Structure 1
Amino acid sequence: MLGQILSALLPAIITIMLGYFAAWHHDFSQDEVPTLNRMVMTYALPLALFVGVFGAGRADLLGSVPLLIFLLAAIVGTYVFVLLVAIFLFRHPPGLSALRALMASGPSTAFVGVPVLGYLYGATANIPIAVAVSSS
């Protein structure tokens, strides 16, 4: 089991090490970082999820409807709970409470899900990842 976890995390660790190596060699300037982040979040990640979901069969997609309902309820429920606690218990302004609720309820499935769950569960992991990303 430990070997499987390490194998799933190894690509992410190597990517981080490559990023540090590129920064150490000044391959990218600080001005290029937002462009690279925008490219990954706007093009690479959505296309990877689209290909994964598009490659799934109809039975896999229909079997994910209960997961969609559960994730939607969990994310919206967490948002509402944190919002109400921040407003009524801690007496924070509504705008700040909404930001805190967004931070608490927004999962980082896109960042963690693709490299780790994709390795562990194969192509079937793309459906829950896409559902969690679209629910948040």
Structure 2
Amino acid sequence: MTDILTIILPVFIVLAFGYAAVWGKLFSDDHVDGLMRFTQSFAIPCLLFRAISTLDLGQNFNAPILVSFYTGVVAAFLLGLAAARLLFNRTWEDSVAIAFCCLFSNSLLLGLPITKRAYGPDALLGNYAIIAIHAPFGYMLGITAMELARARGTALHHLPAKVGRAMFSNALVLGITAGLIVNLGQIPLPSVFTEAVDLMTRAALPAALFGLGGVLYRYRPEGDMRTILFVCVVSLIVHPTITYTLGTTANLTTDALRSAVVTASVAPGINAYVFANMYGAAKRVAASSVLIGTALSIITTSAWLTILP
């Protein structure tokens, strides 16, 4: 247990630094917004671009790891949607936003650094394979469901254009798309350009973790505790359990199983709040789920690291 805490606690300590800096008024809300804009609009897209552009697609885009992880994603979304609507009596718009919280694990800011610290940088290929379609798949599912929920009386033939515009205004999706174009087109890049992009990527994770700590302070828990705890259970237990079960059944390699389960086991990501804020639905549930889920994942992710080979 001590070894596992040594692996994951530095990630949460950086989060705590950001939280404490905002709490102590050493870092303002405007500073947090600027830092998160830098990481989410520039540094992390650069990280994804470099990772996807150099990824061996034939070796790492194997069906079993994607089926194991994304079956869990769809199950978590449907479970969250049904529970929010039928159990917690939320509107359809709120229900979709809550379901999105259940499906969108923090694959970048928690999944990547935890996997890297636990198993080394060579174990991240499976993470990148998952991340390559994480934002496009998650946003496509969430946006499609939300537009359907809001489409009362609207012609459905307008829906594909709305989904496409929403997806391709997302910097993460654009970084992934650019990386795929370079990879599939085998486009050579000047070394001076790749070195500059690498400088950006080295700033991505620590800056984003620090900024996320500030965001979590801003959106402290306020009510809706039953719904928030339900989101945490689905995110931290149900999703990784489905992924682990399917992954072991499919005989995934050790590295692939580790990447899939660790990515599934982390807390809801800040994109859960971004999505809720974009539609003005269930914002308090989304923000509090990120905060409480991140705290609880210290325990649950430790447990999954113990279970994994």
Q: Which amino acid aligns with 2:33?
A: P
- CA, structure 1 residues 96+17, in 2 after alignment: closer, same or farther (shift >3 Å)? closer
Query: How far has the Cα of 1:75 moved from its partner?
Result: 0.8
Q: Percent of counterpart pairs with the same letter?
A: 24
Q: How many residue pairs were aligned?
A: 133
Query: How far has the Cα of 1:15 moved from its partner?
Result: 2.5
Give me the whole-angstrom Cα distance separating, in 2, the residues matched to 1:114 and 1:46: 14
Query: How far has the Cα of 1:42 moved from its partner?
Result: 2.1
- CA, structure 1 residues 25+123, in 2 after alignment: closer, same or farther (shift >3 Å)? farther
Q: Which amino acid aligns with 1:98?
A: V
Contact 1:86 1:92 (C-alpha < 8 Å) held by counterparts: yes
TM-score by length of 1: 0.72
Contact 2:80 2:98 (C-alpha < 8 Å) held by counterparts: yes
- CA, structure 1 residues 116+96, in 2 after alignment: closer, same or farther (shift >3 Å)? same
Deviations 1:23-64 (A, max 9, x none): 5583x433121010111122222322333344443454133x
Give me the whole-angstrom Cα distance separating, in 1, the residues matched to 2:101 and 2:118: 27
Aligned to 1:108: 106
Q: Provide the alpha-carbon RMSD of the alignment.
A: 2.9
SS in structure 1 at match of 2:90: coil
Aligned to 1:70: 68
Worse overlay, 111-120 or 82-91: 82-91
Give me the whole-angstrom Cα distance separating, in 2, the residues matched to 1:76 and 1:8: 29
Query: How far has the Cα of 1:8 moved from its partner?
Result: 2.5
SS in structure 2 at match of 1:83: helix
Matched, 1:47 2:29: no
Q: Which amino acid aligns with 2:56?
A: G
Give me the whole-angstrom Cα distance separating, in 1, the residues matched to 2:102 and 2:35: 26
Aligned to 1:2: 2
Q: Which amino acid aligns with 1:30?
A: D
Gaps of 5+ in 1: none
**How do 1:97-136 residues align onto structure 2 when only pairs under 5 Å count?**
97-121=95-119, 122-129=121-128, 131-132=130-131, 133-134=134-135, 135-136=137-138
- CA, structure 1 residues 129+6, in 2 after alignment: closer, same or farther (shift >3 Å)? farther
Aligned to 1:81: 79
Worse overlay, 90-99 or 71-80: 90-99
Give me the whole-angstrom Cα distance separating, in 1, the residues matched to 2:77 and 2:20: 38
Give me the whole-angstrom Cα distance separating, in 1, the residues matched to 2:46 and 2:129: 11
- CA, structure 1 residues 76+40, in 2 after alignment: closer, same or farther (shift >3 Å)? same
Query: How far has the Cα of 1:12 moved from its partner?
Result: 1.9
Worse overlay, 48-57 or 69-78: 48-57
SS in structure 1 at match of 2:79: helix
Deviations 1:97-124 (A, max 9, x none): 1111111222122221121112223233
TM-score by length of 2: 0.37
Give me the whole-angstrom Cα distance separating, in 2, the residues matched to 1:90 and 1:15: 34
**How do 1:7-18 residues align onto structure 2 when only pairs under 5 Å count?**
7-16=6-15, 18=17
Give me the whole-angstrom Cα distance separating, in 2, the residues matched to 1:124 and 1:11: 19
**How do 1:17-36 residues align onto structure 2 when only pairs under 5 Å count?**
18-19=17-18, 24=24, 26=26, 28-36=27-35
